[in-house]
Amino acid sequence: MYEHDILIVGAGLAGLRAALESIEAGKNTAILSKVHPVRSHSCAAQGGINAALTDRGDNWEDHAFSTIKGSDYLADQEAVEIMCREAGENLIDLEHMGVIFNRDEEGRLGTRRFGGQSVARTFFVGAITGSAMLHVLYEQTVKQNAQVYEEWFVTKLIIEDGECRGVIAMDINSGKLEIIKAKSVILATGGIGRIFEPSTNALICTGDGLALAYDVGASLMDMEMIQYHPTGLAGNGILLSEGARGEGAYLLNSNGERFMEDYAPEYLELASRDVVSRAEQTEINEGRGIDGCVLLDCRHLGKSKIEEKLGYLQEVAIEFRGIDLAEQPIPVKPTMHYIMGGIKTDFMGQTDIPGLFAAGECANVSVHGANRLGANSLLDTIVFGRRSARGAIEYSSQINSISKSKEELNNETKRIQNIINRTNGERSATLRNEMGEAMTSGIGVFRDTKSIKIAKQKVLNLIDRYENTSIDNKGKIFNTDLIFNLELKYMLDVALTICIGAENRKESRGAHYRTDITERDDKNWLKHTHVAKTDGEVQFYTSDVNITKWKPEIRKY
Amino acid sequence: MLQTAKKTIQIEIKRQDPEINNGESYNQIYDVEVEDWFTVLDALIKIREEIDGTLSLRCACRASICGSCAMRVNGQAKLVCKTKLSVVEKNNKILVEPVGNMPVISDLVADFKPFWDKFNAVEPYLKPEGEVPEGEYLAPNEDMVHLVGVMNCIMCGACVSDCTVLEVKDNFLGPAALAKSYRFIADPRDGSQFERLQNLEKDGGIWDCTRCMQCVEVCPKDVDPMERIMSIRSKSIENKIDKNYGARHAKSFTDLIKNNGILNEVLLILRTKGLFNIIELAKLLPIAIGAQLAGKRPPFLSHSSKNKNQIKKIFKKLEDK
């Protein structure tokens, strides 16, 4: 029988950081992931991790202010204060664990500048910061001999008496469903990128944790806040890091002009991501783009700087587009990248459901608000991954009872067998592609009442059609066909909450920019949006934003 | 979208499912309409999404950073997400198989357990010594940048797939685990360099590499695993961890060339194995007899190059460097 104090679903940075904290506290801990931990999408983070190190004259309050301004004042300020205050300690911990950060001339940690901030406080490992951190955290779990359910897929959360007591999950290698009992569960399943097409995200970013939590009644908060990254590759949307602009690269329009001068005279290319993406889209819409793109120009940085600090970008540019960054500008466009919204949690990762915690991109403690700053996501995963473990440790210490139910396993086995048995239905990919197109055009860099409505109707239509999809693979072993079908349902459920958030927020704030209501409305909408299910009915409500000392101001870069 | 030109490619896939045909492998050919910018992964995804959902494969990031999608394409290990179809297709055909040197779970999905077991065996985590500083460990940037070259490894298993030693010797740690080990040996913050080197001197360690270059050839991230193994060998000898056949072979080889300008194979064997190591020498007898019969036995007597003084000068120059 599988039984733990703390079960962590997802093995990216947030999940692994939580696991290490939990193991260190002596808790019976297990990690469950649908892919091997190092395949998690945290590996694709490139540019770096923010931290204000006080021993070199930086201060966390400045970092906090940049984050809050970047969030267009939607972030909860107490949460931001926690993240920025704890950043330094967490960064040094990572270094002690073995992360190979680039150094300055004195051998201390080196920095680069990132968007939306006036000082350089982004620590980095070339252009593979996420990968370098993920591999080191994985190394630490090897050292701790952590238990990993590798290539297991959660199909349902177990709720007993209103509290989370484990999961039902499939061992992908055998196709068998099992109950994994736990006194508390931490969801750290990452983002939702595949709901959109294209996206910078990996094919595994299907919003599993959000859908699982939503299914059992947890609230999803600010789901309309979708970040479009200014520099995705045209076509399939592979990411080119903000690190390029951090190192000094320009954005040019078809006239060869640095158009950011018109939109953000002070910060230029390093304004907040929502601002830069809107500027790019405006240039493209007004006819100053090139085949639907603008140009990212790194030529003046020189070959050696490109190779030392942006090596992975150069690899991507050459391998996927045949472009040498030192010789030629590369076409880029705003590309769906990140969801600021997510499962609502408190500062200890606690969701609305006792025993259910969340951290990282799937969660929303609200440090990113309406727009996340580059290099704050890695920080979020580490700080709140660790905190969610502390929350779960404390919670699970008070729990004696543990799930007994076998009935749910039988129901779940039947439900999944039904999917396998269905024949002659539509293919999962057909629905996914339609969803991706609808969401990208409806919930884009610019949106309005009509576009949101069309997207929502499409999603509702797809939710109906989902019940008639069928799969080719009727086998048990490594049935990825089945997994994709289950992921599709997760994505559709989450897509609907995004549409509901978007249609209700009647203002423009951060990444949520409506062409029919272009102003921010602090009087009515300095508020979080929530979508949650009560007794199977979808509810929408709002809650106040936590403001400590930074009163909302006009946001200019 | 990108400008495209379409054509049809025949993709032959080695398939295997334990639930079908007693798990016997078989090849299946798919005709796939592709765009000219397609990668091999794009084509495989198109098959599984539009033609045949029973095809199993692993993939995630599509951007050569997660390491999920190493497979053999036309017999050679590749990360298929960064392999353009147009580069590998011959007469509009390609053959895709799972990685080698690992058991197959299903179709293109290999069981990486042996891979990770070896990774775990090199104690793949930093072991600093002494007091932990309050701030970061100080380290020269050039050392860190050098290590980033190794941290580029995404554990995709391409090197292990095509390692020619692993084909015949299961317990070889292999290029990925050894490169990982180098990452710690060369880290100025790590305090257990000597123990790490001692562990790698054993059977299955650094001296088992035959320098065939396959790992360097197939590595999609330019990690240069063989070069890392050679660096570990040099560090072992520097640290006098050299009482093993591998190190003695390397040293005798160098000494013989240095002194005679030419290799004396018989002396090389005697010095490597030890003059009185009768058991090990006896094991080589069949090879010696075979060579004798084929007329390929090297001369017993010491011989030297007529240019040996020049060779000595080269050595001196290198040593003075």
List, for residues A262-303, the tens digit of each pLDDT value.
999 999 999 999 999 999 999 999 999 999 999 999 999 999
Q: pLDDT tens across B278-315, in order?
A: 888 888 888 888 888 888 887 776 678 888 888 888 98
Residue ranges, comma separated, of all CATH 1.10.1060.10 domains in chain B are 113-238
Q: What interhelical angle do A13-24 and A376-397 show, nearest 10?
A: 40
Which of B132-136, B141-145, B294-298 comes out lowest in average pLDDT? B294-298
Please state the CATH superfamily assignment of the domain spanning residues B113-238 in this structure. Alpha-helical ferredoxin (1.10.1060.10)
b (16+ CB within 10 A) / e for A362-380: bbbbbbbbbbbbbbbbbbb
Residues 515-554 of A with CB under 8 A from B: none
Residues 94-133 of A with CB under 8 A from B: 95-98, 100-110, 125-126, 128, 131-132
Q: pLDDT tens across B29-69, in order?
A: 999 999 988 999 999 999 999 999 999 999 999 999 999 99
* pLDDT at residue B136 is higher than 70: yes
pLDDT at A386: 98
Q: pLDDT tens across A39-67, in order?
A: 999 999 998 999 999 888 999 999 999 99
Alpha helices in A311-375 (DSSP H): 311-321
Contacts of B61 in chain A (CB under 8 A): 39, 41, 43-44, 202-203
pLDDT at B1: 44
- Tell me which residue of A8, A96, A121, A68 sits closest to A552, measured CA to CA: A68
The minimal CB distance from B68 to the residues A39, A125, A316 is found for A39
The minimal CB distance from A107 to the residues B61, B124, B139 is found for B139
Q: pLDDT tens across A247-261, in order?
A: 999 999 999 999 999
Residue located via tokens 């050392």: B143
ipTM confidence: 0.95
* Stated pTM of the model: 0.95
* Contact between A9 and A34 (Cβ < 8 Å): no
- Tell me which residue of B221, B184, B223 sits closest to B200, measured CA to CA: B184
Q: pLDDT tens across A9-36, in order?
A: 999 999 999 999 999 999 999 999 999 9
- Tell me which residue of A430, A420, A504, A423 sits closest to A462, measured CA to CA: A430
Q: How far apart are CA A284 and CA A445, in angstroms?
A: 12
The minimal CB distance from B53 to the residues A38, A320, A473 is found for A473
pLDDT at A510: 98
* Contact between A101 and A95 (Cβ < 8 Å): yes
pLDDT at A403: 65
Nearest CA in chain A to B128: A96
* pLDDT at residue A390 is higher than 70: yes
- To the nearest 5 percent, what fractions of chain A are helix, strand and coil? 40, 20, 40
| Mean pLDDT (whole number) for A115-139 | 95
Pairing mode, strands A49-50 and A111-112: unpaired
Residues 6+ apart with CB under 8 A from A259: A251, A252, A253, A279, A283, A288, A294
Q: How far, in Å, are A346, B45, B46 from residue B34 at the CA level? A: 48, 11, 9
Residue ranges, comma separated, of all CATH 3.10.20.30 domains in chain B are 6-110
> Does the beta-carbon distance from B125 to A139 stay under 8 Å?
yes
Contacts of A95 in chain B (CB under 8 A): 136-137
pLDDT at B308: 85
* pLDDT at residue A322 is higher than 80: yes
Q: Is B318 helix (H, G, I), strand (E, B) or coil?
A: helix
Pairing mode, strands B93-97 and B6-15: parallel
Give the mutation candidate from B136, B137, B185 for the A interface (greatest A CB count, under 10 A): B136
Give the up-direction half-sphere exposure of residue B289: CA atoms within 13 A in the CB hemisphere: 6
Amino acid at B23: G
Q: pLDDT tens across B157-210, in order?
A: 999 999 999 999 999 999 999 999 999 999 999 999 999 999 999 999 999 999
Give the mutation candidate from A41, A112, A478, A486 for the B interface (greatest B CB count, under 10 A): A478
The one catalytic residue in A273, A509, A514, A520 is: A273
| Mean pLDDT (whole number) for A145-157 | 98
* Contact between B77 and B100 (Cβ < 8 Å): yes
Amino acid at A345: T
* pLDDT at residue B151 is higher than 80: yes
Amino acid at B120: N
| Mean pLDDT (whole number) for A126-131 | 94
Q: What interhelical angle do A376-397 and A77-97 show, nearest 10?
A: 90
Contacts of B185 in chain A (CB under 8 A): none
CATH architecture classification, B6-110: Roll (3.10)
Which of A79-93, A134-148, A484-498, B258-272 comes out lowest in average pLDDT? B258-272
Q: Has A273 been annotated as catalytic?
A: yes
